[in-house]
Amino acid sequence: MKLILTIINGGGVGLGYRIDNWSTSDEEDLPQYRIPGVYNEEDAGRLLEALQKAADTSTYPNYNFPEGVEDLVVKTSGDNVTPPTYDINLFTHIDWSSIQSGTINIPDNCTLKGNGYNITLTDGVSIVENEDIENLYVNGKPYSNENGGSNTDNEQSESDATDDPTT
């Protein structure tokens, strides 16, 4: 293990660590994911596929979310809870603009935690209304249950509605 530590004005800042087998290979950085979630484009694609399978009623009872993406979700319920509940954490912006029509369903037993990241969707595609969507942006605008997450509705801004350009 190699630990790099910098001391500045009496405080310490850890820069990273690595555990490596003995070898003559060069040093390399390793990803350090603290909790499961969507960290890259491949993760986003697997999540989308799992959500589409979960929404396809023809697959019941053979498919239950989160088959295939267990490493991307955090189970938040106890072992004896049916159905189990999950958090889906986003740690990157997602581009799902390849979906041309319809909706993306977030299962009722899941909370989508956007963590301030953005999902890009094609006009007319939306995320199905789910009260458990937190801190998510869709096409650069805050997710809203009123428009189903599509952000393509012609909503008036607060300043337009009040004729006050300062709001």
Q: Report the pLDDT value the prediction gives residue 152, as an integer from 0 to 100.
A: 46
Tens of pLDDT, residues 25-38: 777 666 667 889 99
Residue in 49, 76, 77, 43 with CA at minimum distance from that of residue 63: 49
Whole-number pLDDT of residue 46: 95
In this predicted structure, what is the pLDDT of residue 154? 40
User: Which stretches of 22-167 are DSSP H helices?
Assistant: 41-55, 158-162
**pLDDT tens figures, 86-123:** 999 999 999 999 999 888 888 888 899 999 999 999 99
Work out the mean pLDDT of the chain and round it to a whole number.
Answer: 77
Partners of 16 in the beta sheet?
Answer: 4
pLDDT in tens, 59-83: 666 677 888 899 999 999 988 888 8
**What pairing do the DSSP bridges indicate for beta strands 94-95 and 118-120?**
parallel
